[in-house]
Structure 1
């Protein structure tokens, strides 16, 4: 048998190491992996918003032999959320990979009419009443009574932005309780799988200038209701791991 050239051997070794690392992170993850489920109801549930009737579509699909979630958005908005209850501690690692077909020409993280993303990871934290003002508490209570569920508090949104530079953090144009973190931006890498890893605790400290409360949910979301645009996104396994 003819031995493989050294560069092919090295490439194969790196590929196997990456696959092993991904398997380990999935195994220890606090979130159910998309690659292991038989239905989107296995560990995930729809995340929908008041007054938005047109929802994005999510379905399991195969991509080069691996099961992933394909999201289709067309002037629509909704997500899939995994409910958790996790004390962040000193470090909490969120890792995922995603791919998008395109970004939005009218997308702009600083403006309400541009607050759409072909792909985002939404990280929700427990509400802290002691940190909120009277009007914020009253508004939340009214919404909870009307819609019958407890609302989360602050949130981090990891976004595939159109123009916001990678690494920049800005307040959501609708509410300063949600901070937008650009982890990809523009057309670079569209149509390609991109792997992202973030320390949620470090990002929360930087975004809100205090320690994070309990983590209550992690969601995937592709939306286009403000821009009226359309896109397709693919989400691989999303893992949430506490370092040893």
Structure 2
């Protein structure tokens, strides 16, 4: 169901929410440099979409660019976007819960920009990522903050419309109930990372306002008014133990 929806909607997300951006109302990699020096690094993008985050990595000196995505159309687009890169590019059409042929203990950096939350099995996906990384390798991901869709705008007020505490798969209103996404608490992401062997360095849910994201419509999915109350995005920076 989710794959079918992505095939229909891929064009709408061309180049959106890609590095150096981490997500709505969030920090920017150009300013905060969570990745550090990317030169000569082998990098893997989980949920690579249209390839723009990999393009960012390649333009900053990454040695190899690898990615996987569930959508056929996204992989086709990413191959076009990355066709001018002067380094090795390897893309797989695959769900993140499966290893489509990626090497173990190979990557210096694995990352996922607004994609990891699509997984139907968080633990299995994180075990895969842990396996892909070299000892001491870096893992960074961003995703919609799990409190964000618990709150909606109605009759001039923001109200809680769902329980934050109840986890599990549910239809997503932002996609007009055409996809199913698992709601997980922030603590679930943190604890599952730890259980899978990661060391967490930083958790970021800082809200950043700029001229580019000012919204006059409080009922928008990502609105300025809502961001003044709660974060839209969270980021976690972690390492595989050396």
TM-score range with shorter-chain normalisation? under 0.3
Which of the pair has the greater relative contact order for Cα pairs under 8 Å at 6+ separation? Answer: 1
Structure with the higher fraction of residues in strand conformation: 1
Structure with the higher fraction of residues in helix conformation: 2
User: How high is the TM-score relative to the length of structure 1?
Assistant: 0.28
Choose 1 or 2 for highest CA Rg.
1
